[in-house]
Amino acid sequence: MDAKIIILENSIELTGAFKSILEYSKSLSSECDFTFGIQRNSKIENNLRINHFNVFHISFLEIRKNINILIYLPVLIYNTFKILRYVKKNHIKVMHVNDIYNMLGVMSKIFIPKLYLIYHIRLLKSSYVSKLYAFWGYLINRYADRIICVSKTASESYPFNPKKMSVLYDSLSIDPDIKSYHDLKKIDTIDLYYIGNYIEGKGQDWAIEAFSRALETNPKLRLTFVGGTLGKKKNWQYKKDLIKRTESLNIQHLVTFMDQTDEISDQYSKADIVINFSENESFSMVCLESLAYGIPLIATESGGPSEIIDQGIDGLLVPNRDVEKMVEAILTLSQSKKLRKKFSINGPIKVKDKFDLQKNSIELLKIYRDGI
């Protein structure tokens, strides 16, 4: 096992980006020796320890409106030298940065030009101030040896160097023992699940509006949210606002708000339909997981989901921010056992064909080996 790789991961809670790189790393653990550079006290550390990965703590500091550049730069420089000492001591040859906004990779490459630098583009230009995204894109184009885009949508968000860039979808390993939804186990309620962290733009607000209107036609509907706030005050406030909105609509007794959980498969097993009305998605791990578990799915045409779902074959796509179409889709799917069964059968087939972890891991391993 001579392929030593360090992965820089900013997440402090479970996110789709982290789940994806974790699955790939587990798949390649017999070929590569992985170390994860993460925040101290990050909630993802337990997932890494359980899977026997090395962990290196870094005090990441993101650029935000309320952070002075004079604070950001010294911290970035300090972290760069800290991580470079670790890289040299452990003879690491490849650095894989799991998002566009982490500039530790660029800084490390400047000081150690022989370090093989990979950047994983998981967010769209519209997720950030466009000038910042363009600046980060410029630096990554210049210093990265390889650029991995999580979807074609992500690859088109900035003119990344085509000689360095490749599209590699997030992938899952399909458990052959997974029983798909199409047994249609109950008839008393139709449980809609919305799995995703509470972040403005993730679409939970649209879900509440669409759910409240759909209830007027189908009173069997119930809605459950599952997600975390990533330790950010603005996300917690957003969650509080969502709860208040259900109260103002007098539907609070039909809506459940759950915290994030590592036992996410249990939540999928309880869902009759998964909805995802995000306004901006470079990919969507939730959509992928829903197909894999055979859970009928409705998502917005917000980027990545359009590359995952075949309309009317394994899910329903609705226009972004269109409440009327969201209501229509919820009612169509909730009232048709035949359509739910069709989606449930076709979902796992799609994942096995297009998003198979073992097959796509070979492509990532080829990228790693270019740097060994």
Judge contact between 193 and 275, C-beta under 8 A. Answer: yes
Asked, for residue 125, whether it belongs to a domain, the answer is yes
Query: Going by DSSP bridges, is the β-strand pair 190-195/221-226 parallel, antiparallel, or unpaired?
Result: parallel
Total count of residues recorded for the chain? 372
Asked if residue 349 and residue 361 are part of one domain, the reply reads no
Judge contact between 104 and 8, C-beta under 8 A. Answer: yes
Asked, for residue 16, whether it belongs to a domain, the answer is yes
Asked if residue 117 and residue 103 are part of one domain, the reply reads yes
Asked if residue 71 and residue 207 are part of one domain, the reply reads no
Asked if residue 167 and residue 20 are part of one domain, the reply reads yes
Six token digits for residue 128: 């950030």
Asked if residue 162 and residue 53 are part of one domain, the reply reads yes
Asked, for residue 200, whether it belongs to a domain, the answer is yes
**31 lies in which domain range?**
3-171+356-370
Residue type, 87: V
Asked if residue 283 and residue 338 are part of one domain, the reply reads yes
- pLDDT value, residue 23: 95
Query: Going by DSSP bridges, is the β-strand pair 190-195/273-276 parallel, antiparallel, or unpaired?
Result: parallel
Give the SS3 label for residue 261: coil
Which H or E run includes 275? Answer: strand 273-276
Asked, for residue 66, whether it belongs to a domain, the answer is yes
Question: Tens-of-pLDDT digits for all 372 residues of the chain?
Answer: 568 999 999 888 888 899 999 999 999 999 999 999 999 888 899 999 999 999 999 988 766 555 566 688 888 899 999 999 999 999 999 999 999 989 999 999 999 999 999 999 998 887 766 778 889 999 999 999 999 999 999 999 899 999 999 999 999 876 655 555 545 555 689 999 999 999 999 999 999 999 999 999 999 999 999 999 988 899 999 999 999 999 999 999 999 999 988 777 788 889 999 999 999 999 999 999 999 999 999 999 999 999 999 999 999 999 999 999 999 999 999 999 999 999 999 999 999 999 999 999 999 999 999 998
Asked, for residue 124, whether it belongs to a domain, the answer is yes
State how far the Cα of 273 lies from the Cα of 281, in Å rounded to an integer: 19
CATH number reported for the structural domain that contains residue 300 in this entry:
3.40.50.2000
Beta bridge partners of 228: none
Asked if residue 69 and residue 12 are part of one domain, the reply reads yes
Asked, for residue 176, whether it belongs to a domain, the answer is no
Asked if residue 350 and residue 213 are part of one domain, the reply reads yes
- DSSP symbol at 303: B
Asked, for residue 55, whether it belongs to a domain, the answer is yes
Residue 224 falls in which region: left (phi positive, over 0), alpha (psi -120 to 50) or beta: beta
Give the SS3 label for residue 157: coil
Give the SS3 label for residue 283: coil
Asked if residue 216 and residue 159 are part of one domain, the reply reads no
- pLDDT value, residue 126: 78
Asked, for residue 18, whether it belongs to a domain, the answer is yes
Asked if residue 323 and residue 254 are part of one domain, the reply reads yes
Six token digits for residue 46: 């337990």
Which H or E run includes 235? Answer: helix 233-248
Asked if residue 220 and residue 300 are part of one domain, the reply reads yes
Domains of the chain: total: 2
Q: How far is CA 347 from CA 151, 224, 316, in A?
A: 19, 22, 12
Asked if residue 161 and residue 138 are part of one domain, the reply reads yes
- pLDDT value, residue 304: 93
Give the SS3 label for residue 233: helix
State how far the Cα of 190 lies from the Cα of 203, in Å rounded to an integer: 20
Residue 290 falls in which region: left (phi positive, over 0), alpha (psi -120 to 50) or beta: alpha
- pLDDT value, residue 188: 85
